[in-house]
Structure 1
């Protein structure tokens, strides 16, 4: 809270000073301190009331829009005319305080689209007919150009590989956790990253037609289409203003006392109504923050309370998003799986391939000593060869073993097929010209995933999986988690299309994702939640909320909190309306003056704030 106040003071120093001076002026007026018989409350009227008058007049006369500011303006003017300056200043101060609380909960400026634009490659290596290479701006590439992409570079445009073998990190576009091996004839997309091995390609889709540019347009269109929730006080303002004017005019006509009419306008000011929503939202945001959820959009929790379907991306959300060794299988008598993993990891020490690095990382975690390695060679697109402890070793795909005339025994083929059905990636290993076994790698499931989905089900929320991975990888997750539906091979536009279809049918969707490819879906969803730790900056910017520590266990609590917040808002609104109508009856009978009416009316605002504050430490029951 202290950090939030400091940030507010830096961002809005004039507003902070205005409210501070107004509060002091009202205090001096309340204790009857005067400066040359001038009521200090005039400062609150000028500093807080004038902006309300200006906004009310602009809305009424330029847009013909009757909002809560119109009624407040009438009460301010009427109070000043009859000399009730303290009442005018008090009402103006409370309204500006409510506006401040509301402003602090709305969305901060987001830079997601700018980050996507910065991902666009700036240059490309074009090859001339004589084979000479020149670096040109990426926007100068034309369809049909021959380009060269070096290891570690981002692919500048969509195209097809002509020569060379490599592995491509496609997580930007598909969210796949594992790199994909590519060779001649395979398609590559702009924005994806060449992991190792240079290759030549033919440009096919360039400029605005490229995959990355299409994603940028998806994010822009999704953001433009998201609806905003209107403040309830403004939604009902026309009826509030009409009722207040009729009540004040009727009382004046019947009683002949203008003081009673002004009192009605003062007590009818929707201060508590204005505070009912933002105070509850701020308290709920504080609670969510304590549970590791950063709420970026002011109305995100309001929307989350209506969600009955949560769509998960797989990689990085339900899983960790990094490959790990699932198991090692030996096909040689006397060679234990641990020994096979040791030999393979020792050979992969110098490998640039992500699967090789994953094998090395998991082996190092065991603390075992590596074997001696000689004659190491990278074989792009196939694997590696080396001599380990004096024995020739091959590690890579099935094509590498076939190239060396090595056949897989039936039992190893069966193990490989079983691993593929679970969506695992395979590294085959051969020793001294014989098939020695395989190492299966998989994206590890988060241990809290099953608990989270069970909690969502208790909340009456269905969990759906939307993933760019293969059917086998998706089904391997489905078999272990209580998911309602699964859709695999999803590109960004496929996720976006599915979300729009659901919401067109009246089914608001909360999307949980972590990758750049999830940004359009996070923007378009009724509520977007990004993984703040492992997720990309672009996904976080596109979302309404972010899990700071990637702890998805908190999702059921946050949804229950959102629903509790909406019940609190309903309670606040009901109480404030009942208090207003009771105060109107007292004002009609002359039992309340403008000052006492303002005090009674603002006491209701205090009670609303106290009730909202109970959300700060609310905890969902298991």
Structure 2
């Protein structure tokens, strides 16, 4: 990467109120190489495949930037002069020069780290129920032992009380159930990283899902092919598009080639010539004609008109959350291909099962409104928020918990990390999820399959039921044994046997969780 400062321009750009006028004053020939740290106003050149080092504004060049790490958007976003780019995102195709606007601690990635740290500080901790009860049972038993000796004068009775009251069963009631439930969860693909995560999960009333990579596959797929007014069929249009995009490295291009290959049963023909236009699309020679495949701007730059009828069909496809790749040659568009990030095959059934547990599914995504609305409608989700920044997800979680609805957050990206940390329980996709997201979460989903999430919700509640049964049994047994010791029915030997029998029964009851699964309705 080449970095440099334009003489006198740096301060002008950082303080300019008119971005366009500042960009007009930019002179690319005045970039000079340096190895020092970036400061506001420096000009940096970002090459294909490199991560954007600081926040800034593009001053020269066109490209596509993968912003999934910050926004969760499933597809690269086209960028041109005047557009903003964020640190941590990845430049995919074209090189560009950018003016740094926020560096160091002010950059987006550093603000994300601070959000994760502050989110952890705001999470409430669970106080173990057995710890509160154990204090009182110890006090009661000691007082009973002293009073029994003072009243009866028999030291054996007092000693028997001290033998039977020892709260071993009470102390074992919670950890044995938690360990058994964790073993059950592991068998179903969940790695529980925090000991009290399942205890907190039992309090959840909302499960918030990120869209890309969580409810969807995270990869674009062709959902429809639409031919325009030219004498060309949809099959022929897909074949031409596959040939034009065959050498493309763009996710949309690869998806089109995969669809064309699947439809024809063979790989598309190689184009005679191929050129990629960063941020626009591709230009290729296919079957003796120049084919343009990409955005509307690409067609406009080469004088290809888009018929009104085709434009209306494009609007309808976009309303369903699709991304459009136009195809054209000659003097007009020949049609378009609609692509979208498809939902996982089991997502609908999983969310239905989540609702059956009494938990409300919610969609929180950084994608645009049309994509969010389409996915929410397809999955039957009534509550969703689109264009969410990490701060927006934190705000929604805080509002929900103030309303008495504990939140479990399920996500996979860096942009989900603050929400995973702040939520009552965070569940990260362990396979495709980023390291930061997994570290921030309480539970990792090893195989990225959300189908077992309803089981985990039910398991957490069953675990709490088991804990309460264990606590009730152990306390009842202790009080009965204390009463029998006070009356002289129990001696120390029999009292020891009763005490150990209670511990064994608690362990056996907890062990039943290892193979537990809710009965199918």
The correspondence for 1:312, drawn from 200, 206, 209, is 209
Structure 1 residue 136: deviation in Å?
A: 2.8
Q: Secondary structure at the match of 1:621?
A: coil
The correspondence for 2:104, drawn from 204, 207, 227, is 207
Does the 8 A contact of 2:145 with 2:159 survive in 1? yes
Whether 2:364 is the aligned partner of 1:466: answer yes
- Map of 2:338 onto structure 1: 440
Distance in 1 between residues matched to 2:235 and 2:34, nearest whole Å: 48
Whether 2:60 is the aligned partner of 1:134: answer no
The correspondence for 1:185, drawn from 82, 95, 104, is 82
Structure 1 residue 522: deviation in Å?
A: 0.5
Distance in 2 between residues matched to 1:369 and 1:339, nearest whole Å: 14
The correspondence for 1:564, drawn from 438, 456, 462, is 462
Tell which deviates more after alignment, 463-472 or 501-510.
501-510
- Map of 1:457 onto structure 2: 355
Query: What does residue range 25-424 of structure 1 map to in structure 2 within 5 Å?
Result: 125-126=3-4, 129=7, 131-136=30-35, 140-366=37-263, 367-424=265-322
Distance in 1 between residues matched to 2:300 and 2:317, nearest whole Å: 20
Does the 8 A contact of 1:304 with 1:510 survive in 2? yes
Does the 8 A contact of 2:260 with 2:267 survive in 1? no
- Map of 2:12 onto structure 1: none
Distance in 2 between residues matched to 1:602 and 1:365, nearest whole Å: 66
Answer 1 or 2: higher relative contact order, Cα 8 Å, separation at least 6. 2
Distance in 2 between residues matched to 1:615 and 1:293, nearest whole Å: 15
Query: What does residue range 482-493 of structure 1 map to in structure 2 within 5 Å?
Result: 482-493=380-391
Q: Secondary structure at the match of 1:611?
A: helix
Q: Which runs of 5+ in 2 are unaligned?
A: 8-28
Q: Secondary structure at the match of 1:479?
A: helix
Distance in 2 between residues matched to 1:441 and 1:300, nearest whole Å: 38
The correspondence for 1:541, drawn from 412, 416, 439, is 439
Return the TM-score normalized by structure 1: 0.77
Structure 1 residue 589: deviation in Å?
A: 2.9
- Map of 2:514 onto structure 1: 616
Distance in 1 between residues matched to 2:235 and 2:432, nearest whole Å: 30
- Map of 2:21 onto structure 1: none
Deviations along 1:387-418, one digit per CA (max 9) or x if unpaired, are: 01222111110011111111112221111101
Structure 1 residue 596: deviation in Å?
A: 3.2
Structure 1 residue 128: deviation in Å?
A: 5.0
Q: Tell me the number of residue pairs that the alignment of Structure 1 and Structure 2 aligns.
A: 498
Q: Secondary structure at the match of 2:485?
A: helix
Return the TM-score normalized by structure 2: 0.92
Distance in 1 between residues matched to 2:270 and 2:117, nearest whole Å: 54
Q: CA RMSD in A?
A: 1.7
Q: Secondary structure at the match of 2:30?
A: coil
